[in-house]
């Protein structure tokens, strides 16, 4: 079976879909890593020599937030954002591909209808006195007489 050649718009669509899925995948993986680091930070201990807990508090100071950032919660938020982004991307491109398939199917149906109509006309033109009973009501009246 011959492989279909893709148009520029199809290739661009595939590239953009890959970019968006990769971006939101990075969000999700980062969220998992942040969640794991948060669990480790709180299970090692709360002393001043805990580097993960120190990094958590330093991140809060870096962004000048009035509350302490818990990496477990921050990771869950990143996973949620990544998941929503992946779902939205998949939904958008699935609809786009379905619309293209429906459009191609309608075009094929119109082409078949036009070809069928032309073949009826060519038979009528080639055979003098030929009346197609399916073409119109006037032709049916001529047949009945």
Would the pTM count as exceeding 0.95?
A: no
pLDDT of residue 23: 96
Q: For every one of its 145 residues, what pLDDT tens digit does the chain have, with 9 covering 90 and above?
A: 557 787 888 888 889 999 999 999 999 999 999 999 988 888 876 666 788 888 888 888 888 888 888 889 999 999 999 999 999 999 999 898 888 888 888 888 888 888 777 776 655 555 555 555 555 555 555 555 5
What pLDDT score does 121 carry?
Answer: 62
For position 113, what pLDDT does the model report? 80
**Three-state secondary structure of the chain:** CCCCCCCHHHHHHHHHHHHHHHHHHHHHHHHHHHHHHHHHHHHHCCCCCCHHHHHHHHHHHHHCCCCCCCHHHHHHHHHHHHHHHHHHHHHHHHHHHHHHHHHHHHHHHHHHHHHHHHHHHHHHHHCCCCCCCCCCHHHHHHHHC
């Amino acid at each position: 079976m011959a492989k279909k050649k893709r148009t520029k718009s199809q290739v661009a669509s595939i590239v953009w879909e890959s970019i968006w899925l990769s971006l939101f995948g990075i969000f999700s993986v980062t969220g998992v890593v942040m969640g794991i680091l948060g669990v480790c930070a709180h299970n090692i201990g709360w002393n001043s020599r805990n580097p993960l807990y120190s990094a958590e508090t330093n991140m809060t100071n870096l962004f000048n937030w009035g509350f302490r950032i818990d990496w477990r919660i921050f990771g869950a938020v990143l996973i949620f954002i990544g998941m929503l982004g992946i779902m939205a991307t998949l939904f958008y491109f699935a609809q786009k591909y379905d619309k293209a398939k429906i459009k191609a199917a309608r075009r094929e149906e119109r082409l078949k209808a036009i070809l069928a109509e032309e073949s009826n006309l060519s038979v009528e033109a080639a055979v003098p006195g030929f009346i197609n009973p399916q073409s119109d009501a006037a032709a049916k009246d001529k047949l009945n007489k």
